[in-house]
Structures are given as structure tokens and as C-alpha cells.
Structure 1
């Protein structure tokens, strides 16, 4: 039987134990095979039933290979979620470039506000994905001390956060709108890994 994995997770409550049997990643497709208690079936059976998950059109994200290879946890599906990317504000392809024409008096306040948003929204992002040069804090601080620079690029929540900080610090700025490449249709979170993909299917007998 092959069904939509997001529908399966919505309709069935995951039960333990479960462990990884195998995992492969090739040509933009991630496959995961697990054995354990058959929570996915109408009729339960022994604790060694198998289910496979196939994630196709993987575009970006990260896989925690160490966790995949360790395979020691019998509650491996404890953290397993699939979300529609369209419901995630931080993944919106609409982007805003925010340019400043004066030094930023308190750049750390902007950095902290963006960092707090990332944490609260569980975004697969870092401040460096939004703030110019913030891959290294020292570079970001140097950029924000100049007289004309691109401060940030991001979706509406980032625009709102950064512009509010700029207004509170009385820094002259302009905002330009653009659009970036859209992420995959789905976001999958799985035991320390998180990635975007186009489809997610569950396969079992």
C-alpha cells in the first residue's frame, strides 16, 4: 500500500518501538525503511513490522547522518512532522531587501530580534541567511557601521522585524521587493534532520 505520508501522520498516532532498517539518498530522493510496532495499520501485529517512507524532490535542508547511522533509539519516530511549506511564513518566496543610508547605532538589537524570530518559528535558517554578512558577526557589525549598505533580505516577518528596529533607532532606509526560488512543497522534520521535498509517501504491506 502506498499513501500520502502527511495524511498518515494526521490520521494515525505514532507508537513505539521503531528503528531504522536502512536509509538511502540518491538523485534527489531520500528513502527510509523502519521496523517496529505497526501503528500505521488498522490491525496491529507483532513489533517487527516494516514501513518505508519515500521523500522525492528533495531540494534543501540537512540530514543528521550521525543519528541515521547510530540507529540506537527505539523511539526513532518521536520527532517526525510533515508540514506544507505554504504555511511557513519564513519560507515564503516573497523577499524584501532592506537598504540603509546611515550607520546602525545598535546592530546587535537587529541581530537578536532576527535570531529570536528564527528560534520562535523553528525556521531552517540562521541570522546569516537574512542579515548581510552575519555568517560572521564581526562582518555584519562592520557592514552595519558603514554609510550605505544592504542590511537584510528576507520574507515579510523579517522585513517587519528589521524595519521596526530601524525606526526605533531612527536609521534612514528603503525597502525593495523581489521573489526568490520557492522551496519544496513539504517540510519534513525527523530526529534532528529537516529538509524540503516535493512529495512524501508511506509504503507498507
Structure 2
């Protein structure tokens, strides 16, 4: 097994955790905060937008089973990469999208996929997702970890109200593999 780490900020970390939870080769997912200046931030601080952190997911994955490129593809297919002010219902800097790289290879792959998306002219607006060096990742409070499993009804209601599923189906399913964006019931 070749264990590696990937960190993505894609709006609310509950939705990102859910999206990656369905992927074979993921060993562990932690939701948390990264990219800010405050040491050991807590949700109440990050949610004000004043710490500079983004909500993010840290993936420990087996690179012999899934590649970083495949994780990038899942990331892009689960966000609105043109939204510079947040994602869906969640507005403000802590919900903006970013790929946090820890190696030069990750940086190059992230830039390549972003450039490919920009050149595709698939979106009418520019790609707003940032590619940033990874700093310290702080795991979120325990009640945020595996939220979609702990509170399935609340999670489904949040996802429904956010209209994220509608956006993903409209934008991505017509262009890519529709199975990657199905909104499965959470059990």
C-alpha cells in the first residue's frame, strides 16, 4: 500500500466528505480547516470568515488503488469552480474552493486539470478555484466528522436546500460519467 494525503476545500466540508466517501481507495477522511492564520481554530471562529481558513477535507488514500488525478476529477465534479464567493447556500471566504498541494507533483497536476477546465470553455465564467500550498490542517470538532452518517436526515435536507445536486446534474452529467454524480440515499 502506498499511502498519500490530499486536501481539498469545496465549500461545506460535509458535502465534500460525502462525495469522497464513495471512492474506493480512500483510507480515511477528516473534515477540518486549513489556509488561515489562527492556531487551533474552532468552528465558531472559522464560521465568521475572520480566520482565513477554509472548510476542507483531508483524504488519506492508497495511491496503488486511486490516483491523485482521479481525486482531482472527483473534486472538480462536486463543486461550482466559477463561484468566487462560496458554494451554493454557503457564502463567504471559508466556503471558497481550493486545492491544497503538499508536493510539486500535486501542484502540477492540479494546475494541469484547472487549465484543462479553463480551456474547455465549459463554463461562461473564469475558474475561481485556487491552487495553494498546504499549511497546517486542523481537524474539525468531532460532531462534524461523518456528519452525513450521524445526521442523515439533516444532511439530506441541507443538500436538498442547497440545490447542489441540481447544479451537479445540470452541469456535469451531460458532459461526464453520470454515475459519479448520482445523489444516493444516505443510510
Larger relative contact order, structure 1 or 2 (CA cutoff 8 Å, min sep 6): 1
Q: Which has the higher helix share?
A: 2
TM-score (norm: length of structure 2): 0.23
TM-score (norm: length of structure 1): 0.22
Q: Which has the higher strand share?
A: 1
